[in-house]
Structure 1
Amino acid sequence: MISWYHSWIAAIRIARRDAWRAKGRSALVLAMIALPIVGVSAADLALRSADLSAEQSLSRKIGAADARLTDSHYGPVYQSPQGDASAPVGGYDNYDPTRSKPAEGAADPVLAALPAGARAVKESTGYAKVRTRHGLLDTDIRELDTHSPLTAGLLTLDRGRLPQAAGEVIATNAFLEESGLFVGSAVLPRGAKSAYRIVGAYELPSELKKPQITAPPGTLFAPLDAALQAAGSSGVRAEDSYLIKVGGAGFTWNMVKAANANGAIVVSRAVILNPPADSEVPLYQQQSKDSYGLNGTDAAEMAVLATVVALAMLEICLLAGPAFAVGARRSRRQLGLVGSNGGDRRHIRAIVLSGGLVIGAAAAVIGTGVGVALTIALRPLLEDQLGVRFGGFDVRPLELAGIALLAVVTGLLAAIVPAVTASRQTVLASLTGRRGVRKANRVLPVVGLVAVAAGAAIALYGSASDMGPTVVAGGSALAELGIVALTPTLVGLFGRLGRWLPLSPRLALRDAVRNRGRTAPAVAAVLAAVAGTVAVATYEHSHDLQMRHEYVASLPHGVGVLTTDGSAHKEMPALREALSRQLPVATRADVDRLVVGKPGCEEYSSDPTCGRAEIITPKDQRCPLYEAENGPASFSAEEARKLRADWRCADASRIGGGPSSPYGTIVADEALMRVLAVSDPGTVSALAAGRPVAFDKRIVKDGKVTIRVVTDTAAAEGASMRREDPPGQDKVLTVHQAPDTVNSWGSQLILPPSAAKAAGLSTAPSGSYFTLDGTATGKQRQALDGDIDRMGVDARVSIESGYQSGGDMGLLILTVFAGLVTIGAAGIATGLAQADAEADLKTLAAVGAAPRVRRTLSGFQCGVVALMGVVLGSAAGLLPAIGLRFAQRREMEALYAKARAMGDSVTEAVPYVPVAVPWETLGGLLIVVPLGAALLAALVTRSNGALARRAAG
C-alpha cells in the first residue's frame, strides 16, 4: 500500500514538472478542458441565483401582503395551491358564462371574498399606447398605492421619488430607455387630455425589460377611459387585483377555498410555503393533476441534456487525447529511463495518467474559479440579459465540486489511450526513438460495429415509439460512439485510396494510417463536432421545408394592405395619402367596412351603442358537424369522416376573415380585383356593374346573401349560447357567385359602395390594398411609420413577402463552429505527425527534397485528418435527424387522427414532414473546411529545418 502511494506521488511530481516544462502544450490542453468548465460553472451559479426561493418569488408577486386575490371571470372556481392553474367548478365543458356575470351594481366578487378585518390595497393594470420622443410605445399602465407597506418588494425605486398626487407617475427604466424620456419628462398616453410628470424611475425585479408606468389610484384609468370614450373610441380596460393582509396564520387553504367559491383566484404566502396534500385540492379531484403540467421536469428533456453532456465530454477527451499523446511522444526518452531503472508498465501508465490528472485538476480549479468570478463581475449584464434580478448569489458547493470533478475525470479519460500506448513501448524503442510494431486491436471494431447497429436500431425504434425524442437521442449517441470505436479501422480503409494519389497526399495518407493512435482520436473529435452540426442542420433544413410547405400567404406576393382600428376612420384619408407618398405604390384599392352604430364602432366593441353586420348562412348549408347539439361527438367516426368531406364542412383555406374585416365582408369596387390579381371576367364585370360578389357558396342560396344588422349585442350573445341566430334586421342582396377557382384572399363577400348604400348599410373607411412598383426599402417603411406615429393613430402596414426562413444564421454559426473544431483537431494531429516524422523530413531534405515538401506534406496531413472526420461525421449526423423527423411524423399523424376524431376540420391526407439534406451546409463542411485546414497548416509550417543525422537502427 505504501509503495503504491509513493509510486503515484512520484508519478504526479514527474507529470507536474513535465507539464511545467511544456507550458504551451499544457496551456492548450488546460484551456481545452477548462473552457467548458468555465461555462458550466458560470451557468450553474447564474441560473441558481436567478432561480428565486419561494419567499423571494412571493415578495415580487405579492409584496409584503399575505395574499393576492384576482377575479377569475368564471364565477366559482377550483385552483391549484400555487394559484397558477384553475378551472370553473364542474369543468369547462359544463361552464355557463351567464352565471359568472355579476348583477348590475353588485359588489366586486373579490372584495366579497375577503375575511372580516382584512386590509386590502387595490392594484389595477392595463395596456395603452404612450407618446414618446420617437412616436408611440406599447406600454403597460398601472395604478397602485406605492406608499403602502403591503407593496414592499413589488418594485425597486431606482431614482427620483414615488408619486404622491394626480398627474404624477413613475416609470420603469425599460420604458425610459425605449421612449427616450427621463425623470422630469412629461408623458402623454394616446387619447389623454393632459400629460403626466415622471417623478421617479423604478424596476420590476423579475421583469427588467418591461415598459410600464405606475400612477396613484384613480388618477390614470378613469381620466383616460373618459377621454377615449368622449372621442368616440373604445375605452381602456383595467384588470383589478387586491393585496390582502389578514395577520395571524395568514391566508389559509380554507380561506382560499372560500375565496374560490366567490370567484376569486388566490396566490397565498401561507399556502405556497406549506401546500396542502393533493387529496385536499378539489381541482385535482375534478381533473387529474397531470393535465395541468405540474408533474416536474420532463424526462425526455433530461435524457437529451444528459446525452449532450456525454457527447461534449467525449469531444473534449478526443481533442485533448492527441495533445497528451504529443506529450508522451516527446517524453518517451524520459519514460524509457523510468523503465530502464526498474519501472514497469504500471509506472509508465501512472506517469502519463498523472499528466491528465494534473492538468485536469488545474483546469477544475481555474475553470470553476474563473466561472464564479465572471458571474460575480458580470452580474449586472447577466441580470439584464435574463431580465431578472438575482435574489442573491446562490453558491452550491456540491454542484461546483461536481463540475470540477468533471474536469478531472475528463483529463484522466483523455490520457487513458496515450498512457496505454506509452506503456506498451519497449524500453529500447523509447530510448532509441523507434516506434515499434503493434498488432491491430480486433475486438474494438467488432464492439463498434455492434454499437452502430444497436444504436441505429434503437433510434429507428424511437421514431416509432411513444418515447420518440428520448430514445432517438440515446440510440444516436450509441451509434456515434460505435463509429468512434470503428474510427481506427475506417482510417485504415481510407489508406487504400493512397495508390491513386500524388506523392505528397499519398505520404500524408500513409502516415495517418500507420499512426492510427494519433490520427483516430483527432478524426473522432472532428466526427463528433461535424455529426452534431449535420444533425441540427438536417433537422432545421427539413423543418424549414415543412414550414415553407405549410405557409399560407394572406395576399398575392408583393401585395400590401393598410389597416386600422375603428377609431382611426377620420384619419384614413391622411393615412392613404402618406402611403402613396412614402411607398412606390403602383395600384391602390381603398376599402371600407360595414358598421352598426358610430363610425368608430368595432365588430366586438364593448360599447352598448355599437352593433355588427353579420352574414347569415342558410341552415341547410351549414356544416352538420357543428350544428348538432353535442357537436362532432354526435356522429360516429365514419359519419364524421364523410361529413368532413362534405362541401359544407370542407376547410377552404381561401375563406376566412379578411385583413380588413374579421367577418370577411369588404366594401370595395373593381380596383380591388386588379390588386388581388383576380382575372375572372364575370367577377370583375359584376363588381364594375355594382353587383355584390360572394366567394363562399355556403352563404349563397338562390343567388342571394343575407346580412343581418345586429343592434342588441347582449341578446345576440344569449342567442349564441342557445345555438341560435342573433336577432336583427335582415338585408337580402342579390349576388354574383364567383367560381371556386377564384382566390378572394380571405373575403367571403365584396360589396360595391353603391350596393351597400342601396341596402341601407352604413360604412366607414377601413384601409387600402396596394401593389408596388418594385419593392419598399427599409428607409421608405421607416418614413411611413414616422408619418403614422405623428398622426397618433393605430395603423398597420403589411406587405406579403412569402415565407421567410429564420434558420440561415443558426446554420452558419453551426458550420463555423464545426469548422473551427475541425481545424483545431486536425492541427493537433498535424503537430503530432510532425513530431513523429521530424527524422523522416530531415532525411528527405538530406536527399535533395525541395523545401516546400515539408510545407506541402504538413498541409496534406492536416487536410487528410479533416476530410476523414468530416466524411464520417456527416454520415453519423444524418441518423439522429432522420430519426427525430420520423418521430415527429408519427406524432403529427397521431395528432391529425385525434383532431379528426374530435371533429376538427383537418385534412385526411398524411401530414407533410419531409427529411431533406442541407447540401449547401454539407458541401461547405466536405470541401471548404478540409481545404481551409490544409491551407492553414501549410501556411504556418516552416519550409526548412535543421539537418540532423537519423538515429542508428
Structure 2
Amino acid sequence: MLALPVVGASAIDLTLRSAELTPTQALSRRIGAADARIDSTGLDGPILQRPDAESYAPVGGYDAYHPDPQKKDAPLKAAVPAGAEAVGMSTSDAKVHTRHGLLDTQLRELDVHHPLTQGIFTPLRGRLPHGPGEVIATAAFLEHSGLYVGSSVTPRGSTAPYRIVGSYELPSELGRDELLALPGTLLAPLDNALRPTGATGLNVTDSFLVKVGGDGFTWNMVKEANAKGGLVLSRAVVAHPPADAQVPLYAQEPRGRFAKPGLNGGRFTEKTTVATVVGLALLEVCLLAGPAFAVGARRSRRQLGLVGANGGDRRHIRAIVLSGGLVVGAAAAVVGCALGVGLTVGLRPLLEEKIGIRFGALDFRPLELLGIALLAVLTGLLAAFVPAVTASRQTVLASLTGRRGIRRANRILPVAGLLAVAGGVAIALYGTRYRVSPNLVAAGSALAELGVVALTPLLVGLFGRLGRWLPLSPRLALRDAVRNRGRTAPAVAAVLAAVAGTVAVSTYQHSRDVQARHEYVAELPDGTGLLSANDNGSHREVPAAREILGRTLPVAVRADVDRLVAGNPNCEAFSTSPGCGRVELIIPKEQRCPLYESEHGPADFPKEEARKLRQDPRCALPRRPGSSFETLVADENLLRVLAVTDPGSMAALKAGRPVAFDHRAVKDGKITLRVVTDPVAAQKAAAVHAELPGQDKVLAVHQAPAGVESWGVSVVLPPAAAQAAGIATAPVGAYFSLETAATTEQRQRLDGEIDRIGADVRVTIERGYRGDSTIGVLALAVFAGLVTIGAAGIATGLAQADSEADLKTLAAVGAAPRVRRTLSGFQCGVVALMGVVLGSAAGVLPAVGLRLTQEREQRSLLQHSIEAGYSAPDETLYVPIAIPWDTLAGLLVLVPLGAALLAAAVTRSSGALARRAAG
C-alpha cells in the first residue's frame, strides 16, 4: 500500500522531467544547429512579432491590414541578413499512394547533408537521399502506409515514383507522416505535374535556417527581418529576450491580447483535477495503512503486554509500533523509488511513443525523488501514530488477556470534523467565485473530505439506527460495525476516499460531456451523408463515385447535386487564370451586413455600434454548407435527405421552380445570380468592396418559411431552372440517407473502390455527438475505479482479520458455515456501503468546485472575445454541473456487493476453536 504511490509518483516525476525539454533542446529540434529560422507568414507586408515567435501581427494591426491581390509576396530570401549562411526548407501537404489507399502526408525538402540541419531529424535505417527520385520516410509513415525501406512511393498526381532509401523520425513529432527529399526534387516536380491537369497546386511554406556567427541573430536583426515580412525564431533572442519596452508589437497592441486569458484556457484546471485525484489516492493510502497497523498492533497486543510486564513503559510501546511504521515506510520508499525508476527506464521507448516525443535525456532530480521517498516514510509514521498511541494506553492486564475494554466516544473529533467541512466548503467556494483559483478549490475539497473522515465515527453510529429495519444477518453485521467503530471508521474512511476520487472524476467528466453535447453542431441530419469533390477538377469522377456509393452503402435516398459554373469547370475556386469564371449569389445591397460591406470592416465602426450591428439579422452568419457551395442544382430528393418537410418547397422543386432558404438573398420574390467571366476584374472589385462585374440572371423563387433548417444550403435550383437560365453545371457530389448505419467494413470497401478509380472525393456521414473524452481524464476515471475496488478489497481483508475472534466464537457455539460466511460477507458489505454513500457525497464537492472555476475561466475568455469583436454581446455561456447518476448507482450496488461476495468467498467454512490465553 505504501510502495504503490511511491512507484507511481517516482515514475511520473522522472517521465515528466525527461519529457520536459530544455530551451536548447527544443530549439535544436526546430532550427537544428542554426542561429535562427526565418519563416514566411503569408502577409504581403512588414510584421511585428513576439520575441519567442509565437505570435505576430502586421504593422498597424489586422483591422487596418488589407492585402493587395495583385501584389506578390516579397521573396523570403530578402529577410536573410547579407553574408549569412542560409539553408532553405520547404513543406507542403499532399496525398500519397500507399498499400491501403491514399494517406495525407507532409512533404518536405531540405538539404539533409548540411551541418545546419543536425537535430531537426534523426536517421533510423537505410541512408540519406543523394539525388532526384529518392526520399526518406518517417517511421510513422512506413507503419501507416504499409511500405518499407526499398519500396516505391508515389504522391497523388506525380508522374514518377520515388524510392524510399531510408527512414527517420522527428523527435518532437513521432506520429507525423512525412517524406523528405533534397531541394528541388519533390515539391516543384509535383506542383508542375498537378497544374496542367487543372488540379489545385501545392501550398508550399518556405523557411530558411540561418547561421550568422558572432553574437547570433540579435533582436535588432529580428526587427530588420520583420520589416521584410519574415518571422524569426532566434536562439539568442529566446535565451536573452528583450524588455517589453523594446518590443514594437507590445507598443502597437497590449501584451495581454497575446496572452491566454482564463488561466491558460482551462488546462490549468485539468492539471488541478489530476492533482486532486492523486491527492485523494494518497489520502486513501494513509487511511488504509492506518487500520492495517492498528490490526497488526492488536494482533501483537500480547507481545506488547509482555514488554509492559517486564518493565517497559508507554514510551517503549509507542516506539515499537512507530518503528514498525518507520521500517515499513523506509522499505516502501526504497522499493517504490527503485521500481518507479526501473519501470520508467525500461518502458522509456513505449512512454516516448505514447506521448509522441523523444526525451531529451533521463532527467533525474535527486531532491524530488528524495522528497517522494520521504513522503512514504512520513506516511508510514503517520499511519502508525494512532495505533501506537492506542496500544500504549492499554493496560498490561488488558493486553495479556486480549480484552479491549470500553472506550468513551471522542466528542472533540466530530466538532473538528464539522468545522473542517464548513471551512473546506467555504475555501472551495471562495476559490470559484472571488479568486478563481483551482488550487484553492483542491485545498478546500481536501479539507472538507478530511472533515468527513473525522465525522466518520459519528456517521457510523447514525447508520446503526437503520438496523431495526434489516433482516437478522445484516442487522448483526451493522451492530457489530457500530460497536467496533475503531475498526470500522478507518475502513469506511478508506473506501470513502477512493469512492470520492471516482465520483469527482466521473462528475467532472460527465459535466464536460454534457457541455460538449450541448455545444455540438451537426453538419447534417443524423444518419445522413455527403459525397463531395475535394477540388473543382475532380468533377469527372463524381458520377462514378456516386455509383460506388450506391453499391457499397445501404443508401435509402440519394440526391445528386451539381454546381453552377462559368467557363472552365476544371478551375479551382476564385482562380484568376483566364477562362476561370464563377457564378455568385448576389445579396441585395440594402440586405447586406454593414459590418462586412465597409472598407475596413468592423474597424470602421465604434465598438458599441459594432456590437449592436452584430445582433442585426443581416449580420447573422449562416451555417456553412457541407458541399462548400451555397447554391446547388438538385431535385426534390435533396429536401428528403435534408429532412426539409415544408410542402411548399417540395412542390416548388417538383414544378421546376428554385427554392431559397436564405431570406437575405430574396427581394420581391426573386434572386440574382451573377455570372462572372473576368476573374481578374472580379478580384480587384472584391478587394475594394465594389460590385462584381458580370451578367445577372434574375430568377423567381419560392421562399422557404423562416426557421426551416437547410443545413447551409442557401438556394436549390432544379436542373430545368439552371438550363432555362443558360447557366452550365458540373457534378459536385451527392447527399444521401442510410437505411442502417454503415459498418466499418462497408466504409473501408467504399474508400478502396473510390481510390481505385482515382477520384479525389470525400465521404462524410453524420453520426451525431460521439463524446469529447480525453485519454487523460478517461485514464483517471479507470484509475479511480480500480482504486475504489482495491480499497474495498483491502478494507474487507482488514475487517476480516480484526473480526477473526468473532468468527471463531460462532464456530465454537456450533454455527453453520453458511452463517459464518453470511455474517462475514455482510460485515464487509456494510463497511463498503457506508464508504460508498459518504464518498459519493464527498466526491461531488471537488467536481462542482472545478466546474465553477471553469465557468469563470470560460466567462473570462468569452468577455475577452466580445471585447475583441469576435463574439456577439448576447452570446450565452453554458457550463453545466451534471451528476452521473448511473455511475453513482453502479458504485452503490457493485462495490458493496463485490466486497460482500469477496468476504464470503474467502471466509473458511470451518474454523479452529478459539483457545483461551494462558493466565
Q: Would the TM-score normalized by the shorter structure come out above 0.5?
A: yes
Distance in 2, matches of 1:318 and 1:603, equals 67
User: CA shift at 1:307, angstroms?
Assistant: 4.0
Match of 2:625 in 1: 658
Distance in 2 between the 1:68 and 1:901 partners?
34
Amino acid of the structure 2 residue aligned with 1:571: E
Q: Distance in 2 between matches of 1:747 and 1:153?
A: 49
Distance 1:951 1:815, change over 3 A: farther
> SS of 2:172's equivalent?
coil
Q: Secondary structure at the match of 1:46?
A: helix
Separation in structure 2 between the aligned mates of residue 823 and residue 872 of structure 1, nearest angstrom: 16
Is it true that 1:97 corresponds to 2:67 in the alignment? yes
Separation of aligned partners in 2, 1:244 and 1:750? 54
Deviates more, 1:844-853 or 1:233-242: 844-853
Post-superposition Cα deviations, 1:10-31, rounded to whole Å, max 9, x if no partner, equal xxxxxxxxxxxxxxxxxxxxxx
Aligned length: 914
Q: Work out whether 1:159 is the aligned partner of 2:129.
A: no
Mapped contact 2:86–2:208 kept (Cα < 8 A): yes
From 237, 244, 247, the equivalent of 2:213 is 247
Q: Pick from 339, 344, 354 the counterpart of residue 385 of structure 1.
A: 354
Once structures 1 and 2 are overlaid, which stretch shifts more, 276-285 or 748-757? 276-285
Q: Aligned pair 1:518/2:487, yes or no?
A: yes
For the structure 1 residues 836 and 178, does the alpha-carbon distance in structure 2 shift closer, same or farther, using more than 3 Å as the test?
closer
Conserved? CA contact 1:468–1:884, under 8 Å: no
Of 356-365 and 264-273, more deviation after overlay is shown by: 264-273
Return the TM-score normalized by structure 1: 0.90
895 and 178 in structure 1: CA distance in 2 versus 1, 3 angstrom threshold:
closer
Do the aligned partners of 1:668 and 1:752 also contact (CA within 8 Å) in 2? yes
Which one of the candidate residues 694, 700, 703 is aligned to 1:737?
A: 703
- Which residue of the other structure, out of 309, 327, 334, is the alignment partner of 1:340? 309
- Structure 1 residues not aligned, in runs of 5+: 1-31
TM-score by length of 2: 0.93
Provide closer, same or farther for how the CA distance between residues 922 and 294 of structure 1 changes in structure 2, counting only shifts above 3 A: closer
Residue correspondence of structure 1 range 849-864 to structure 2 within 5 A: 849-864=815-830
TM-aligned CA deviation for residue 717 of structure 1: 4.6
The answer (yes or no) to whether the contact 1:172–1:201 under 8 Å persists in 2 is: yes
Counterpart check, 1:399 vs 2:349: no
Asked whether the equivalents of residues 48 and 248 of structure 2 are also in contact (C-alpha less than 8 Å), the reply is: yes
Asked if structure 2 preserves the Cα contact closer than 8 Å seen for 1:709 and 1:728, the reply is: yes
Question: Among residues 596, 608, 613, which one is paired with 2:583 in the alignment?
Answer: 613
Q: Secondary structure at the match of 2:433?
A: coil
Structure 1 match to 2:544: 574
1:78 to 2:48 alignment? yes
The one-letter code matched in structure 2 to 1:568 is S
Q: Distance in 1 between matches of 2:860 and 2:231?
A: 35
1:585 paired with 2:551, answer no
Which of 117-126 and 268-277 deviates more? 268-277
2:109 aligned partner? 143
Q: Which moved more, 1:930-939 or 1:350-359?
A: 350-359
More displaced, 496-505 or 236-245? Answer: 496-505
Quote the offset at 1:897 in angstroms: 6.3
Residues 218 and 838 (structure 1), Cα distance of their counterparts in 2 relative to 1, 3 Å cut: closer
Which segment drifts farther, 547-556 or 331-340? 547-556
Distance 1:59 1:645 in 2: 49
Cα shift at 1:486 = 0.8
Distance of 1:572 and 1:867 partners within structure 2: 62
Q: Classify 1:325/1:885 alpha carbon distance in 2 versus 1 (closer, same or farther; 3 Å).
A: same
For structure 2, list consecutive stretches of 5 or more residues without a partner in the other structure: none
- Equivalent-residue separation in structure 2 for 1:809 and 1:853 (angstroms): 46
What does residue 546 of structure 1 align with?
A: 515
Match in the other structure for 1:282: 248
Contact 2:561-2:634 within 8 A present in 1 as well: yes
**Which residue among 1, 10, 17 is the counterpart of 1:48?**
17
C-alpha change, 1:289 and 1:511, in structure 2 (3 Å) is same
1:86 to partner: Cα distance: 2.1
> Following superposition of structure 1 onto structure 2, how do residues 183-582 of structure 1 map, counting pairs within 5 Å?
183-293=149-259, 307-465=276-434, 467=436, 469-565=438-534, 566-582=536-552
| Residue in structure 1 matched with residue 730 of structure 2 by the alignment | 764
Counterpart among 888, 896, 904 of residue 930 in structure 1: 896
Q: Is the 8 A contact 1:76 1:260 kept in 2?
A: yes
Q: Which amino acid aligns with 1:937?
A: A
The answer for the alignment partner of 2:833 in structure 1 is 867
- Inter-CA distance 606–791: structure 2 relative to 1 (3 Å threshold): farther
Q: Deviations over 1:370-395 (max 9, x none)?
A: 11112222222222222222222221
Contact kept, 8 Å, 1:594 with 1:763, in 2: the verdict is: yes
2: CA distance, partners of 1:582 / 1:363: 60
The answer on whether the counterparts of 1:495 and 1:510 sit within 8 Å (CA) in structure 2 is yes
Q: Structure 1, residues 476-499: CA drift from partner, whole Å, max 9, x if none? A: 222212111111111111112222
Match of 2:37 in 1: 68
CA drift at 1:837: 3.3
* Pair 1:415–1:123, CA change in 2 (3 A): same
Deviation at 1:181, TM superposition (A): 0.9
Query: In 2, Cα distance between the equivalents of 1:403 and 1:833?
Result: 30
The answer on 1:790 being equivalent to 2:760 is no
Question: What is the distance in 1 between the residues matched to 2:557 and 2:695?
Answer: 37
CA distance 1:686–1:829, shift in 2 (3 Å):
closer
Aligned to 1:19: none
1:22-56 CA-partner distances (Å, limit 9, x unpaired): xxxxxxxxxx1212211221222222222222222
Residue of structure 2 aligned with 1:601, choices 545, 558, 571: 571
Distance change in 2, residues 1:721/1:454 (3 Å): farther
User: Structure 1 residues 177, 574: CA separation in 2 closer, same or farther (over 3 Å shift)?
Assistant: same
Partner of 1:917: 883
State the shift of 1:435 in Å. Answer: 0.7
Matches of 1:811 and 1:386, distance apart in 2 = 15
Residues 22-33 of structure 1 correspond to what in structure 2 (within 5 A)?
32-33=1-2
Residue range with higher mean Cα deviation, 512-521 or 920-929: 512-521
Farther off after superposition, 37-46 or 217-226:
37-46
Aligned-CA RMSD value = 2.8
Deviation at residue 456 of structure 1 after TM alignment: 2.1
Q: Name whichever of 615-624 and 544-553 sits farther off.
A: 544-553
Partner amino acid, structure 2, of 1:673 = L
Distance 1:727 1:34, change over 3 A: farther
> Equivalents in 2 of 1:821, 1:248: separation in Å?
58
Of residues 135, 139, 142, the one that matches 1:169 is 135
| Cα distance, 1:712–1:513 mapped onto 2, change above 3 Å | farther
Quick one: structure 1 residues 709 and 351, their matched pair in 2 at CA, closer, same or farther if it must change by over 3 Å?
farther
Match of 2:99 in 1: 133
Equivalent pair of 2:5/2:282 in contact (CA under 8 Å): no
Deviation of residue 810 (structure 1)? 9.0
- Return the alpha-carbon distance in structure 2 between the equivalents of residues 901 and 288 of structure 1: 13
| In 1, Cα distance between equivalents of 2:631 and 2:143 | 42
Structure 2 residue identity aligned to 1:418: P
Q: 1:819·1:929 contact (CA, 8 Å) conserved in 2?
A: no
**CA distance in 1 between partners of 2:854 and 2:131 (Å):** 58
CA shift at 1:475, angstroms? 2.5
